[in-house]
Chains A and B, each alone.
Chain A
Amino acid sequence: MQETKLLYLDDAYSTKCEGKVIFNEFTDLVVDQTVFFPPPATGSPMTGGARL
């Protein structure tokens, strides 16, 4: 599967973006780029919204 581009690595202050779905299954969505921060050492969810 194509990698997800981690936009926060370039700009932590970016709050919005548009990506494309590259995989989805039930409640799991994978996009080609995202502003969501997946905290590698934290378990706290990063709430926000995605609109199709």
Chain B
Amino acid sequence: MIDGKEYGIVDAWFDGTNVHLMSHDTFPDNIKGKPVYQEIDWDVRYGHMKFRTALRIVSAIAFRDLRATTRINQTYDTEAWIDIESDALDDSFVKALEAECNEIISKGGLKTEYVWKSREEFIADQELMSQVRNRPPEGEKIRLVRIGDLPEQVEYGTVVRSTDELKSIRFKTSLVKGGKLNKRLTLYVE
């Protein structure tokens, strides 16, 4: 046991049951049951939370207006992207989408709220089932996020408490023509 020694965590991943905290350093043997003080890098976490909130606003509007599904998305420290799965997505919609995102933000005051639904409730909700293409997430309880009156969406990540914590959403790229990436939006937040 190396009492008081700090280990930098360079990655964290979830295997479905446990979170694995990965370090560059090797942890000592025989530490099972020992207490571990943990502290995250708040600036990194908060940046991801803002991106995640932006993605949920984008995907909620895309679903509301186009019935688009958005199964694949990713956040980084400095940007995020999301794939909008709809043949109806075009440049004019993307421009309107960006404008509405910023209108929502500039109005301010929209609270985000997590809602848990049972698997039965989720399956009985046609709107939610449409979002996930009739493939509900695993688990008996399913976590959703609600942002104002936008459609509720499955969300197991972290979002900010209010749209007041965002200043703007800017689309870096809209439609990249050709290939599988032709519906991908890459965005920045402030």
Interfacial residues, chain A to chain B (CB-CB below 8 A): 1, 3-4, 6, 8-9, 12-13, 15-31, 34-52
Contacts and interface: CB of A to CB of B under 8 A. Distances in A.
A19 B35 contact: yes
15 contacts: A12-B158, A15-B39, A18-B35, A18-B36, A28-B21, A37-B12, A41-B72, A44-B76, A45-B22, A46-B40, A50-B21, A50-B39, A52-B28, A52-B31, A52-B34
A3 B22 contact: no
B110 interface: no
Contact of B39 (A22, A28, A41, A48): A48
Contacts, number: 185
A49 B6 contact: yes
A5 B30 CA distance: 22
A52 B32 contact: no
Contacts of B157: 37, 39-41
